[in-house]
Amino acid sequence: MGEPHGIGIVGLGVISGQYLATLGTHPGVRIAATADLDTARAAAVAAEIPGCRASTVDELVADPNVQTVLNLTVPAAHAEVALAALRQGKNVFGEKPLAPALSAARGVIDAAGSAWVGCAPDTVLGTGIQTARAVVDDGEIGRPVAAVATWVSAGHEAWHPNPDFYYRPGGGPLFDMGPYYLTSLFHLLGPVARVSGASSRPRDVRLIASGPRAGEEIPVEIDTHVTGILEHVGGAVSTVTFSFDGAASEAAPIEVHGETGTLSLPDPNMFDGEVRLRRPGDDRWSPIAPRAGYANAGRGIGLLDFVSGGRRTDGTIALHVLEIMTALAESAQSGRRIDLTTTAERPALVPLTTETQWRMR
């Protein structure tokens, strides 16, 4: 197998625990360094990992033992940390979005050189989305003609003690949850050529419902109900809805309609879940056994995929998805249909890989 691939983690917030559960004991990688604004937190995590040291960000990106920087900082710092790592010739894998603004995200991709830039979500590499893609690619629903993606909730202030950033520019249901759904639609149907959007903001304030700030009002600076139409290069048309203005939805998270069948997909924020197929004349949905994807995967599988030779979470996909979201917001404000300027190549399907297989290779 050779020497383990050295990883340095910048940002040790809550999400880092999920990455460490996937990467911490994998024989193909080694957590060499940690860095965080809270130096005590970085030190505490490093102390639990043999051979790992806590450092500053500048020290971490220059560390010769670090080959790839895992960027788990807040979105506002994504581009800054990525560029610092790329200047040192390091690969970068980061949480979504690639950057808060499209111009900054382009700058990250342009600075990559011979290094690799990858970006979440890697949930699309699990058995849920990958099995659905295998069905589509095998022609089992005929030519794909349309898809519908729906995510509806009452808003994160119902449970989050500090939900302010969800209601500021760069937040909202589109930029918070959209990457999971839009990246899935990309894997299923390919890149998008143009979009049309509409949005609304029914309330100008929100009421925090939990934690020490319960009862406090916070301002709403962005639209909280976003709908859109995506025209895929291949001819399919997707309709999407992302909302903080409903109680819930019984609609399937994603449905893909083909000329000879329809697929119902599980939550793209998860790695697995049941894929179901229904054809004209059927009186019920038929479950599809997993046939592709990393089984029982967790966050960090996209980085392991890269280390083992894949680039299925390439940053060009994240850049394209960010432009889709940015263009939807722009279209909603201007009333114009927006042609996209980016594209990306659909990566290879993930062969069905058991947890034992991906944890050991």
Count of C-beta atoms within a 10 Å radius of residue 261: 20
Claim to verify: residue 127 and residue 108 sit in the same structural domain: no
Q: Is residue 307 part of a domain?
A: no
Q: Is residue 327 part of a domain?
A: yes
Q: Which residues contact 329 (CB under 8 A, 6 or more apart)?
A: 174, 197, 199, 223, 226
Claim to verify: residue 231 and residue 205 sit in the same structural domain: yes
Claim to verify: residue 242 and residue 331 sit in the same structural domain: yes
| pLDDT tens digits, 266-297 | 999 999 999 999 999 999 999 999 999 999 99
CATH number of the domain to which 74 belongs:
3.40.50.720
Claim to verify: residue 82 and residue 206 sit in the same structural domain: no
Position 142 scores a pLDDT of: 98
Claim to verify: residue 102 and residue 205 sit in the same structural domain: no
- Under the banding of pLDDT at 50, 70 and 90, the label for residue 2 is confident
Position 241 scores a pLDDT of: 98
Number of compact structural domains in the chain: 2
Q: Is residue 82 part of a domain?
A: yes
Position 286 scores a pLDDT of: 98
Whether pLDDT at 125 is above 70? yes
| pLDDT tens digits, 218-258 | 999 999 999 999 999 999 999 999 999 999 999 999 999 99
Average pLDDT value over all residues in the chain: 97
| pLDDT tens digits, 62-95 | 999 999 999 999 888 999 999 999 999 999 999 9
Q: Tokens 């995200």 map to which residue?
A: 105
8 Å CB contact between 60 and 87: no
Whether pLDDT at 1 is above 80? no
Last residue of a domain, one of 90, 119, 148: 119
Q: Which residues contact 51 (CB under 8 A, 6 or more apart)?
A: 30, 32
Q: Is residue 349 part of a domain?
A: no
* Residue 176: domain span: 123-294+315-339
**Length of the chain measured in residues:** 361
Claim to verify: residue 22 and residue 168 sit in the same structural domain: no
What mean pLDDT comes out for the span 157-166?
91
Position 171 scores a pLDDT of: 87
| pLDDT tens digits, 305-356 | 999 999 999 999 999 999 999 999 999 999 999 999 999 999 999 999 999 9
Percent of the chain surpassing pLDDT 90: 96
| pLDDT tens digits, 3-47 | 999 999 999 998 999 999 999 999 999 999 999 999 999 999 999
Position 170 scores a pLDDT of: 82
